[in-house]
Structure 1
Amino acid sequence: MNLNSKLPDVGVTIFTVMTHLANENGAINLSQGFPDFDVPPDLVNRVFHHMRSGSNQYAPMQGVLGLRERISEKVDALYGKQYDPISEITITAGATEAVFAAITAVAGPGDEVILFEPAYDAYVPAIRLNGGIPVPLNLRVPAYRIDWNEVREKVSSNTRAIILNSPHNPTGSILDETDTAALIEIVQSTEKEAGERLCRI
């Protein structure tokens, strides 16, 4: 059986290349989350205890409520932000699933999604699989900062989302208050012009 790829031009990811080079040269691999330490024995014992106690069945689609409640409490304690564990927090199997679900929720055929390069390699395939159009903008070296004037120029009536994360993956650059203010100004002005909400991931 022949299977046709929906993304035939996607090659080897940079993470695959970096992992190969790190292994080949005995270097520390900073491109992916590879801990160089064992899982703490207490954590292994707790997981084992809960599995033996029957906590090994399918979880609710949104994730175990108790975990979502603890996450809500932790975010509130760390950042002073309140999120409803029932309607605003979902547990996923990892970052790539979360990214794909979020992009699928907001981007459809012809929708533009702005992202900043270098970028996590799951963004563009997820956008394209949903029929969206990636709009990559280069971060400004050497500090890998966002050029907000360029963002303003690229926002169009087709823009559906701007993908941001802080610290940025993979550069580690961190958004500051001026970045937040610039983003808010762009989104609010876009909402006024278009009369609808621009999603932010």
Structure 2
Amino acid sequence: MSTSASRVATFGTTIFTEVNTLAQQYNALNLGQGKPDFDAPQDVIMQLVHAAQSGQHNQYAPGPGTASLRQAVVDHAARFYNMDINPVGGVVVTSGATEGILSAILGLVDPGDEVVVIEPYYDSYVPDIIMANAVPVYVPLHPPAWTFDTDELRSAFTRKTRALILNSPQNPTGRVFTRQELMLIAELCIEHDVTVIADEVYEHLLFAPAEHIP
């Protein structure tokens, strides 16, 4: 008798587990998961020690996240993108981007809805969609420039489309979508009443002349 739900039966082992095992086996430097071979800056470590010793962080945090952290998110958006965000109603803190993406999908998508995924993609996207009993619809990026075909993108939108996951800079290709590409995505999402789930975790890891556009 199976002890797992049918919706997770095909998930298998995450690629990160496989790569970590191989890296350890061959004593290789693992560049696949944000795992540097050096320590955090000493100033950061001391701030963590101070926070742990302050007696202010031994209780459950507010559901949306602590006020100071939400304000820091707002300040970041204002500093880099001139965005005006309400820290009370406009920011929710999650335990990492992966949890945030799953929460967004579960909160937006009903069973049978479709979610557009640009591939290749970060490996949690499709399992998240399946967990919501929704259907992933794929739009491939074509080498060597790693751009999408506009007709393929347009055809991915149907009356069942509920969300699109947009990752820029893109993992794993490093592609930074241009303003023209983003405008087309925005136009299609507005036309079909589709919500964009933007994964921008690499927003500051850019090389000129690439420009991240939130």
Which residue matches 2:42? 41
Q: Which moved more, 1:100-109 or 1:17-26?
A: 17-26
Residues in 2 aligned to 1:37 and 1:71: alpha-carbon distance in whole angstroms: 26
Q: How does 1:37-116 map to 2 (within 5 A)?
A: 37-56=38-57, 57-116=59-118
Question: CA, structure 1 residues 8+62, in 2 after alignment: closer, same or farther (shift >3 Å)?
Answer: same
Which residue matches 2:178? 176
1:14 partner amino acid: I
Aligned partner (choices 169, 185, 199) of residue 195 of structure 2: 199
- TM-score with structure 2 setting the length: 0.85
Residues in 2 aligned to 1:2 and 1:184: alpha-carbon distance in whole angstroms: 43
1:25 partner amino acid: Y
Residues in 1 aligned to 2:12 and 2:94: alpha-carbon distance in whole angstroms: 26
In structure 2, the residue corresponding to 1:163 is in which secondary structure?
strand
Residues in 2 aligned to 1:137 and 1:20: alpha-carbon distance in whole angstroms: 31
Q: Which moved more, 1:117-126 or 1:153-162?
A: 117-126
- TM-score with structure 1 setting the length: 0.90
> Contact conserved, 1:31 with 1:170, CA < 8 A, in 2?
no
Which has more strand, going by share of residues? 2
Residues in 2 aligned to 1:2 and 1:187: alpha-carbon distance in whole angstroms: 40
* 1:164 is aligned to 2:155: no
1:199 partner amino acid: T
Superposed CA deviations along residues 57-85 of structure 1, whole A, max 9, x for unmatched, are: 21101000111111101111101112211
Question: CA, structure 1 residues 182+134, in 2 after alignment: closer, same or farther (shift >3 Å)?
Answer: same
In structure 1, the residue corresponding to 2:118 is in which secondary structure?
strand
Question: CA, structure 1 residues 26+142, in 2 after alignment: closer, same or farther (shift >3 Å)?
Answer: farther
Residues in 2 aligned to 1:22 and 1:139: alpha-carbon distance in whole angstroms: 28
Residues in 1 aligned to 2:150 and 2:88: alpha-carbon distance in whole angstroms: 35
Which residue matches 2:4? 4
Superposed CA deviations along residues 43-63 of structure 1, whole A, max 9, x for unmatched, are: 222211122111222110100
Q: What is the aligned-residue identity percentage?
A: 37
Superposed CA deviations along residues 131-182 of structure 1, whole A, max 9, x for unmatched, are: 1001122211122222222110110000001100110112211011111121
Which residue matches 2:23? 22
1:146 partner amino acid: F
1:13 partner amino acid: T
CA RMSD between the two structures: 1.7
Q: Identify unmatched segments of 5+ residues in structure 2.
A: 198-214
In structure 1, the residue corresponding to 2:175 is in which secondary structure?
coil
> Contact conserved, 2:138 with 2:156, CA < 8 A, in 1?
no
1:184 partner amino acid: A
In structure 2, the residue corresponding to 1:139 is in which secondary structure?
strand
Residues in 2 aligned to 1:75 and 1:88: alpha-carbon distance in whole angstroms: 11
Residues in 1 aligned to 2:178 and 2:28: alpha-carbon distance in whole angstroms: 32
Residues in 2 aligned to 1:54 and 1:150: alpha-carbon distance in whole angstroms: 54
